[in-house]
Structure 1
Amino acid sequence: MTELVQRRCVPCEGGTQPLSHADAGVLMKKLRANWTLADDASYIEAHFEFKNYWRTTAFINAVIWIAHSEDHHPDIQFGYKTCSIRYSTHAANGLTENDFICAAKVDALNRD
């Protein structure tokens, strides 16, 4: 488990600088392989597949709990057996460490 799971998000203010592509790339190595980094390093995104709708919605509810507890909210799209999660920090107009902290917490969820 990566140390990102143990960290907490910090509030972002206007003027927060986004991570460089290189810095985001370093943090990407701490996430599972299903996360992708946008070419312009403006967001990270992962796609998930499940056995049924119940497991999909249970996973989404767990992600929502993480979002509320960290006060950092992803964009979520889902269907019957699929879910996509995208993190970016609107105040920074790009990625911050908060995005990677939350993605690592999503990675820690049991998705069996």
Structure 2
Amino acid sequence: MAAQSPHDLRQKKCLPCEGGVAPYSNDEARAQLKQLEGWRLVHSGERIRKEWTVKNFMAGLKFFNECARVAEEDGHHPDLHIEGYRNVAVELWTHAIGGLSENDFILAAKIDALPIDLK
């Protein structure tokens, strides 16, 4: 599977996944991550994660609201984390397959295009 540009990923819509699809291999995931700045593999390659330091707690919540809006539009929902009131993180994975699918990279590219009020 060839890596796709962030622009190409943002043009797609997440497809429902009920399982039965093989997750990306670590090599496929790493190749795709080269196109997405700041995202990294976590949980033994089953998830991708990106972290930001935002201006303040409310900026983090505003960013998460935007993440939620985009996620709901695509029907693919990330894990959202806020720690120390300014450190936010997003983790993506496809629960139905216990690993990464194209949906995770589509949503990562869309999240990267969201406004965020950094410190």
Are 1:2 and 1:30, in contact at CA under 8 Å, matched by a contact in 2?
A: no
C-alpha deviation, 1:17, in angstroms: 1.1
State which drifts further: 91-100 or 22-31. Answer: 22-31
Report the Cα distance in structure 2 between the residues aligned to 1:110 and 1:37, rounded to whole angstroms: 23
Range 88-97 or range 72-81, more displaced: 72-81
Q: What is the match of residue 75 of structure 1? A: 79
The range that moved more, 35-44 or 53-62, is 35-44
Q: Are 1:93 and 2:98 matched, yes or no?
A: yes
Which ranges of structure 2 fall in alignment gaps of 5 or more residues? 1-5
Percent identity of equivalent pairs = 39
Provide TM-score, normalisation by structure 1. Answer: 0.91
Structure 1: gaps (5+ residues):
none
Q: How does the TM-score come out when normalised to structure 2?
A: 0.86
Does 2:35 correspond to 1:30? Answer: yes
Query: Aligned-residue CA RMSD in angstroms?
Result: 1.4
Distance in structure 2 (CA, Å) of the matches to 1:84 and 1:100: 15
Whole-Å separation in 1 of the counterparts to 2:21 and 2:77: 17
Rounded Cα–Cα distance in structure 1 between residues aligned with 2:100 and 2:52: 21
Whether 2:108 is the aligned partner of 1:103: answer: yes
Q: Report 1:55-70 matches (<5 A).
A: 55-70=59-74
Detail structure 1 runs of 4+ shifted over 4 Å in the superposition.
none
Counterpart code for 2:26:
H
Figure out how many residues of one structure are paired with residues of the other and give that number. 111
1:26 CA displacement:
1.6
